[in-house]
Amino acid sequence: MQTDASHPNDGGYSTGRHRAARKVDLSIIVPVYRGVECLERLVSRIDQALGSANISFEIVLVNDCSPDNSWAKISDLSRSRPFLVGINLRKNVGQDNAIMAGLRYSAGRIIVIMDDDLQHDPGDIRKLVNGLNNGHDVCFGRYRTQKQKWWKRFGSRLNGKLAEILLKKPANIYLSPFKAIRRSVVDEICRYHGPYAYIDGLILSVTSRFTQVDVTHHRRFSGQSNFTLVRSLRVWMRLLTSYSVVPLRVASVSGFLAAGIGFFLGIVYLSWHFVFGGSVEGWTTLIITILFIGGIQLIGIGLLGEYIGRIFLTVNTYPQFSVLEIIDSRE
């Protein structure tokens, strides 16, 4: 089935209607961007890993307006694979919002999220699913070794530390993009309709029942990573301003500290003047003080503006994504 739909909240389709038509045990969500050379191998590997298991599954490939021929490849693969669902977005909305599109359409009792470049091993999917036993809601894949650049490893560690401070993430849990999630948690995540989705942030806000299992991390099957330093900075900014008010509190405390330092220096200078009968000389001190206080004010104003901007876009129902076309041979 192919549809053309757009809606500011759910991308133009009703999750309940679609799930009722196709119940499956497992949904694998894969956001696709510049992944045309990996897709056939990825789908085949997933089919091999799950085809022999006694479970029903679907693969939901979300084309995030990729500039290559990814959508044409998805369309071609879907002709011979009834378990394959293709979602084509009208514009590039970023990895997390593309994942949200897949989550809203998915019908699985358990949902696995993975990348399109085969760095995540399809053979580990069942290990993640089994990790949800014993009452866990989310199972993250913990890499034994990471096959990526040093700055990406550093950014991942920094993101984890920020999540510990801002979102109360357990220190021993690695926020891997390769994870399995229960349907009940996904339904809670999909209640978020704002334009700044951050999947791990939403997970941490919904549940604290986590676990993790060791998985293999491979080098990219083909091409170069789409995750640049700029995108890393955007993720950090989203984490800072979309799921916590801690930055605003830090700005407030910094303002009080700056005011306290200014008041203390004022007392010192006045005492110097009346006790010793002189004045404290030095334009340097004055300029440093002005720059210090002014810098703190500008940081606080910038943070406040970031929050207000996000509130404005959310209130005005800025869409997470817009669906151009859906291919699902089962409907």
Residue ranges in the chain whose pLDDT is less than 70: 1-21, 146-157, 159-160, 221-245, 273, 277-285, 287-288, 291, 310, 312-314, 316, 331
Rounded Cα distance, 74 and 69, in Å: 9
* pLDDT of the residue at 300: 76
Rounded Cα distance, 251 and 94, in Å: 29
In CATH terms, the superfamily for domain 15-227+318-328 is Spore Coat Polysaccharide Biosynthesis Protein SpsA; Chain A (3.90.550.10)
CA distances to 23, 31, 115, 120, 211 from 124, in Å = 23, 18, 13, 8, 15
* pLDDT of the residue at 70: 95
* pLDDT of the residue at 221: 60
Task: Give the tokens for residue 171.
Answer: 């220190």
* pLDDT of the residue at 78: 92
* pLDDT of the residue at 182: 97
Given strand 210-215, what is the order of strands in its sheet? 210-215, 138-143, 179-182, 108-113, 24-32, 57-63, 84-89, 323-328
* pLDDT of the residue at 8: 43
Kindly report, residue by residue over 86-144, the tens digit of the pLDDT. Answer: 999 999 999 999 999 999 999 999 999 999 999 999 999 999 999 999 899 999 999 87
Give me the residues paired with residue 26 across strands: 57, 110
299 within 8 A of 251, measured Cβ to Cβ: yes
CA distances to 124, 279, 281, 288 from 284, in Å = 61, 14, 9, 6
Rounded Cα distance, 225 and 141, in Å: 19
Q: Where are the beta strands (DSSP E) in 216-283?
A: none
**Global pTM value:** 0.76
Rounded Cα distance, 328 and 62, in Å: 12
Instruction: List the domain boundaries for the chain.
Output: 15-227+318-328, 246-315
* pLDDT of the residue at 131: 95
* pLDDT of the residue at 243: 64
Beta-carbon contacts of residue 179 (< 8 Å; ≥ 6 apart): 112, 113, 128, 138, 139, 140, 141
Closest residue by Cα to residue 269 from 257, 282, 259, 258 = 282
* pLDDT of the residue at 210: 92
